[in-house]
Structure 1
Amino acid sequence: MVNLSFSPEDAVLVLEDGQVYVGEPFGACGATTGEIVFATGMTGYQETLTDPSYDRQIVVQTFPHIGDTGVNREDPESSRIWVAGYVVRDPSPVVSNWRATGSLDDDLIAEGIVGISGIDTRKLVRHLRSAGVMRAGIFSGEELVDADGREKTVEQLLERVKATPQMQGLSLYNEVSTKAMYTVEPCGDFEGKEPLFTVAAVDLGIKGMTPHRMAERGCRVHVVPSTITFSEIQELNPDGVFFSNGPGDPGEADAVVDLLRQVLDAGYPFFGICFGNQILGRALGFGTYKLKFGHRGINQPVMDLTTGKVEVTAHNHGFAVDAPKGEPVASPYADGRYGKVRVSHIDLNDDVVEGLQCLDIPAFSVQYHPEAAAGPHDAAYLFDRFVDLMKSSKEGK
């Protein structure tokens, strides 16, 4: 065990394998634990912090300078910050942006997000890339002192870390989902007009930009809780059904897998992203597995195998679908009940499956985030594919 000197004025990051980093508090002081992961985006930290898929995760920013554009009230992807903790190297001492309404540090403090700065994040990320993501804890202030006023030992902090649940085996989508349905009306060129299509979007941890992207294409989007029943979806009379991104282990999502099978059996056009891709994979009969360190950031290269086009895409996932790449195969569930399916997208960094396309039913999904918040916009065409799928189904093609 490493013996390091620290005081209550410091912040201490402890990994479950015993690595320790001593830095300065950033955001709130206190204690937090979770799975530690890294995000590679140079921009978009506000969208990262408010992405519900980061529930119970401590996020390390690989880009060293964070916070220079402050925070505003336009960029959040949900109503709150979801990360369990935040790790940066050099937080900006000033805010310089015409849209800023405050500083990142103040926002973290206001929402009680414990963070650490001033550590070697490059070393940390290199370690996570080789050892894999793991549980960790950030401790500062009074959390570094025991009841007798003595500074806690690393061993005591490590005990807290090891008491934290592993991400594998956790069901979290109900924790982040909306509790009541809300509706996003058509906007942009379609504002004030009758919707072209109605979408039931099941919120498993949805980002705010996602229904907005559909609304820009003339859709009325009913964002519904993860606990919705199939009969309640039918009552909305949707032209298509969407399953969103979300946190946790897709292997612990039997209820939404069953829900999706009812959607597919009824013939509704379906589009899923991220967690929704994993749920489609499971509904078709494929397995899922945990990645060593996952994909997180806004600069991941993906090839669309249906067109040969390479896209730079936004990711946030630690699990993936285990499906065969190459020629289409019969979906394993119930002796090919859903017909043929093919892997439609792959990650060019590590060949991980990034999309599925059903050939005999109107359903497809991708593992990444085409809503592009924050950027890039290479994958926006996927929302057009969904609209085309709903149009073809409505016309009986």
Structure 2
Amino acid sequence: MKGKLILEDGAVYTGELLDSAAKTVGEVVFTTTMTGYQESLTDPSFCGQILTMTYPLIGNYGAAEQFMQARRSFVRGFVIGELCDAPNNWQAEESLAAFLSARKIPCLYNVDTRAVTRHIRSAGTMKGVIVPETTDEREIRALCAEKLPRNVVETVTTTETYTLETAQEHAPHIVAMDFGVKRSILRNINRIGAKVTVVPAHTRAEEVLALRPDGIFLSNGPGDPTDVPEIVEEIQKLAGKKPIFGICLGHQLLALAFGAKTYKMKFGHRGGNQPVKNLRTGKVHISAQNHGYAVDPDSLAGTPLAVTHMNVNDDTVEGLRHTQLPIFSVQYHPEAAPGPDDNMYLFDEFWNLMKGV
């Protein structure tokens, strides 16, 4: 059945609906990744958003449980070019269409995603709706008027504490605060030989320290970091107690905890091709990113934070380090490995901080 994507500013893009009754509303964003569509669909950082893939051929290798990044998908909708109905890969367990249908993810395909992307790059991210072509104007207006949730961290975080064990003797113990953590990040931390205890986002600092960690990890996650000031307060209480490593939303929350500010970007960084310069070594690494907010570099003056990494494309802040305490963070996702392993050294740096090296 014919369907359409209607943006907040009135722009309309037509296509085919996978589910003829699908109707949804969300913030429309795009990602430039050429592969990893299932990882993107299940990345909690896309919570509440309608995800557009710029690469036109989607579904070629199907879907499988091992590529899930969370317990479920939190996207509001999926907009793509060609939807492959005959996947060919030895790991495939189902087609992408079956994956989307089973999880009731509204999908609009046969869309000119290049046009959608160019529009968002020009006008910025905005609210949009996916509806069948026959939907009347009154229903569309009602859908457009829906308010999007703000504190989406509560939606994606774990509801209970759990642990990833390791066979390594004398392994460091890391407490990971789950703001919407990807499973691949946890696996990489666990793989370096650390025991990882994952706790809900609003776990108090006293409870984190009671677990006797050697290090504290602040995860990625969705939304505006200023929407969770109570988490920022707990991070302030943790500062100086144990080494801390933050990624993505965790990076932004750390910046707020030490007095810096964040701002909403025009269309964000979402993709696997962002060049990041390490200011300490001068090397440029290719990074995977998924965020719509960034740290304001001008607000860092007077704080104990120093910039360690910058985005080569637009000079946004990509990494911070505390000048006195064993605390550092990056805006990107080192475990996604588009380099392919340019940024894995960050996990080693965290290990060394915990070992006091």
Give the CA deviation at 1:375: 6.8
Give the CA deviation at 1:133: 0.5
Give the CA deviation at 1:40: 0.2
Question: What is residue 190 of structure 2 aligned with on the other side?
Answer: 215
Q: 1:157 aligns with which of 140, 149, 161?
A: 140
Q: How does 1:1-397 map to 2 (within 5 A)?
A: 9-26=1-18, 29-140=21-132, 151-154=134-137, 156-165=139-148, 170-186=150-166, 192-266=167-241, 268-324=242-298, 329-331=301-303, 340-372=304-336, 376-392=340-356
Q: Distance in 2 between matches of 1:228 and 1:49?
A: 27
Give the CA deviation at 1:29: 3.8
Q: Contact 1:64–1:90 at 8 Å: present in 2 too?
A: yes
- Counterpart AA for 2:90: W
Q: Distance in 1 between matches of 2:165 and 2:339?
A: 23
Distance 1:193 1:33, change over 3 A: same
Q: Contact 1:31–1:139 at 8 Å: present in 2 too?
A: yes
Q: Contact 2:32–2:53 at 8 Å: present in 1 too?
A: yes
Q: Distance in 2 between matches of 1:91 and 1:280?
A: 40
- Greater CA radius of gyration, 1 or 2? 1
Give the CA deviation at 1:229: 1.1
Give the CA deviation at 1:156: 4.0
Q: Distance in 2 between matches of 1:376 and 1:79?
A: 26
- Counterpart AA for 2:159: K
Question: What is residue 4 of structure 1 aligned with on the other side?
Answer: none
Name whichever of 227-236 and 30-39 sits farther off: 227-236
Q: Distance in 1 between matches of 2:191 and 2:280?
A: 25
Name whichever of 369-378 and 199-208 sits farther off: 369-378
Q: Contact 1:27–1:107 at 8 Å: present in 2 too?
A: no
- Counterpart AA for 2:42: T
Q: Distance in 2 between matches of 1:219 and 1:17?
A: 48
Q: Contact 1:178–1:225 at 8 Å: present in 2 too?
A: yes
CA deviations over 1:78-110 (Å, ceiling 9, x no partner): 111121100001111211000000001101000
Q: Distance in 2 between matches of 1:193 and 1:205?
A: 27
- Counterpart AA for 2:330: V
Q: Distance in 2 between matches of 1:382 and 1:306?
A: 13
Over aligned residue pairs, what C-alpha RMSD do you find?
1.7
Q: Contact 1:35–1:58 at 8 Å: present in 2 too?
A: yes
- Counterpart AA for 1:316: N
Q: Distance in 2 between matches of 1:28 and 1:194?
A: 55
Distance 1:330 1:367, change over 3 A: same
- Counterpart AA for 1:67: G
Secondary structure (helix, strand or coil) at the match of 1:385 reads helix
Instruction: Give the alignment's TM-score, normalised by structure 1.
Output: 0.86
Instruction: Give the alignment's TM-score, normalised by structure 2.
Output: 0.96
CA deviations over 1:22-52 (Å, ceiling 9, x no partner): 2101367411110000000000111101100
Q: Distance in 1 between matches of 2:20 and 2:275?
A: 35
Structure 2 unpaired stretches of 5+: none
Q: Contact 1:16–1:158 at 8 Å: present in 2 too?
A: no
Q: Distance in 2 between matches of 1:171 and 1:204?
A: 11
CA deviations over 1:249-300 (Å, ceiling 9, x no partner): 101111110011011043x100000000000010010111000000001111
Q: Distance in 2 between matches of 1:258 and 1:74?
A: 35
Secondary structure (helix, strand or coil) at the match of 1:42 reads coil
Aligned residues: 357
- Counterpart AA for 1:177: T
Distance 1:246 1:16, change over 3 A: same
Give the CA deviation at 1:154: 4.4
Q: Distance in 2 between matches of 1:136 and 1:225?
A: 30
Q: Distance in 2 between matches of 1:375 and 1:112?
A: 33
Q: Contact 2:85–2:97 at 8 Å: present in 1 too?
A: no
Q: Distance in 2 between matches of 1:196 and 1:253?
A: 32
Secondary structure (helix, strand or coil) at the match of 2:18 reads strand
Q: Distance in 1 between matches of 2:19 and 2:286?
A: 31
Q: Contact 1:47–1:374 at 8 Å: present in 2 too?
A: no
